[in-house]
Structure 1
Amino acid sequence: MKKLRGQIVIDKILDTAERLFYEQGYCNTGINQVIEEADIAKASLYKHFESKTDLLVAYLQRFHERWFGRLEAFVHNEPNPKNKLLAVIDYHRERQQIREFGGCPFIKANEEAGATDPRVRAEIQRAKLRVKAFIAELVAQSGHKRILADDELTQLLFLAVEGGVVEASIFKQTNDLEFAKDILQKLI
C-alpha cells in the first residue's frame, strides 16, 4: 500500500511538471510552483527527485514512453507497410493539434537544459534516436520504390517530421506536415 501511495505522489508530481514544463518552459517553472500545483509537501518531492534536473529527466523519460507507445499503436493500426510511413506523419500532425501547436517537448527541453546538462541531452538524444530507429524499421519493411536508399528515406522522413513539428509550432498549423506527406507518397 505504501508503494502505491508513493507512485500516486510521483504521478502527481510528474503530471504537474509535464504540464508546467511544456506550457511555461523548464526555466520559468520553479520547484515551489510544482509543489504547490501538485498539492504535495516539499519533502515528498525531494523524496522522489533530488533536483529539478532529476524531475526534468524523469518527466522526459515518462513522456517519451507514453508518446512512443501511442506512436507504435497508431502506426501498427495501418495494415499497409507503405502507409505505415505516412502514418508517422499523421501521428505527429495529430499530436500537434492535440497539444495546440505547442511544439516538441524534447526540443523545448533541449533548448533550455540540454546545452548545459549532459543527462538531459542524453535523454533527448535517446528519445530521438529511438524514433529514428522505429522509422528505419518501417522503411525497411515498406517495400518502397527504392528511389532513395533505406537510410536516405529514413533520414528524409525523420527530418520532415521534425521540421514539420517546428513549423506547426511556429505557424500554428499542420500544412507543412501535410506537404511532407504528399512528397513522401511520391517516394514510396
Structure 2
Amino acid sequence: MPKPRERILSTTLLLFHKQGFNSTGINQIIEEAKVSKASFYQHFRSKDDLCIEFLNQRYDYWASELEKFISGTSTPEEKILKSFDFLIYMNEKEDFRGCSFWNILSEIPADKEEIHSVLRYHKNKLRVFISHEVKDEMIAAHIYLLFESSILTSQLYRSNEFIETSKTIIKNIFHSSH
C-alpha cells in the first residue's frame, strides 16, 4: 500500500479535479486516503499547502504528458499544432474537466497570494515554452492567448470546436509570417 503522503496526494488529485477546491474538505480527503488526521497534518500544514502541492504535481503530470505527446515533432509549427491536439486528447481523457489551474483560480480569493503565485509560475512556464518555439513576441503572445482560451471554451461548451478553430488561425499566422 502506498505511503500516507502519496495516498493523500493521489486522493487530492482526484477530488480537486473532480469536485473542485472549495467542495473538497480535508475530512473527505483523510477518509478516502485512509489516513489519520494526525498523519495528514504531519504532511500538510493546511489545505492551502495541500493545494500548492496539488498544483505542482498536476503541472508535472500535465507537462510530462504534453512532452510525450509532442515528441517526434520537429518544426515550431508542428510542436505548437500538436500542443493543441494535446488539449483535445486531454479533453477526451478527462471529460472536458478543463484546466486545474483555471478551476482553482476561479475558486480562491485574491488574498491567497501564495497559491496565486504558484498558478502564475506554472502558467508562465507555458508562455516560456511557446516563446521558445515562436521567436516573434506578438505571435507567441497570440498563440498563448489562443491556447488558454481554447482550454476555457472547450470546457464551457464541452466541445473541441474552438481548439480546431485555433489550429486554423495558427496555420494562417505561420503561413503569413513566412
* TM-score category, normalised to shorter length: over 0.9
1:56 aligns with 2:42: no
Displacement of 1:85 in angstroms is: 1.3
The Cα offsets for residues 126-146 of structure 1, whole Å up to 9 and x where unpaired, read as 010001100111113xxxxxx
Aligned equivalent of 1:175: 161
Give me the whole-angstrom Cα distance separating, in 1, the residues matched to 2:6 and 2:133. 33
| Contact residue 93 and residue 165 of structure 1 kept, 8 A | no
Give me the whole-angstrom Cα distance separating, in 1, the residues matched to 2:82 and 2:62. 14
Aligned equivalent of 2:74: 79
Aligned equivalent of 1:139: 134
Give the aligned residue type for 2:147. Answer: V
Give the aligned residue type for 1:154. Answer: A
- % identical equivalent positions: 29
1:12 aligns with 2:7: yes
Where structure 2 has 5 or more consecutive residues not aligned to the other structure, the ranges are none
TM-score by length of 1: 0.88
**74-83 or 21-30, larger mean C-alpha shift:** 74-83
Give the aligned residue type for 1:151. Answer: E
- Residues 1-188 of structure 1 mapped to structure 2, 5 A cutoff: 8-113=3-108, 115-140=110-135, 150-188=136-174
Secondary structure, aligned partner of 1:184: helix
**CA RMSD, Structure 1 to Structure 2 (Å):** 1.4
Give the aligned residue type for 2:144. Answer: F
Aligned equivalent of 1:143: none
Secondary structure, aligned partner of 1:153: helix
| Contact residue 136 and residue 151 of structure 1 kept, 8 A | yes
| Contact residue 114 and residue 120 of structure 1 kept, 8 A | no
| Contact residue 31 and residue 52 of structure 1 kept, 8 A | yes
Give me the whole-angstrom Cα distance separating, in 2, the residues matched to 1:20 and 1:173. 23
The Cα offsets for residues 139-182 of structure 1, whole Å up to 9 and x where unpaired, read as 13xxxxxxxxx111111111111111111111111110010001
The change in CA–CA distance for 1:177 and 1:24 in structure 2 (over 3 A counts) is same
For these two proteins, the number of residue pairs brought into alignment is 174
Give the aligned residue type for 1:168. Answer: S
Q: Which runs of 4+ in 1 moved over 6 A?
A: none
**98-107 or 64-73, larger mean C-alpha shift:** 64-73
Give me the whole-angstrom Cα distance separating, in 1, the residues matched to 2:6 and 2:58. 12
Secondary structure, aligned partner of 1:169: helix
TM-score by length of 2: 0.92
Give me the whole-angstrom Cα distance separating, in 2, the residues matched to 1:85 and 1:24. 31
Give me the whole-angstrom Cα distance separating, in 1, the residues matched to 2:48 and 2:31. 18
Displacement of 1:114 in angstroms is: 5.3
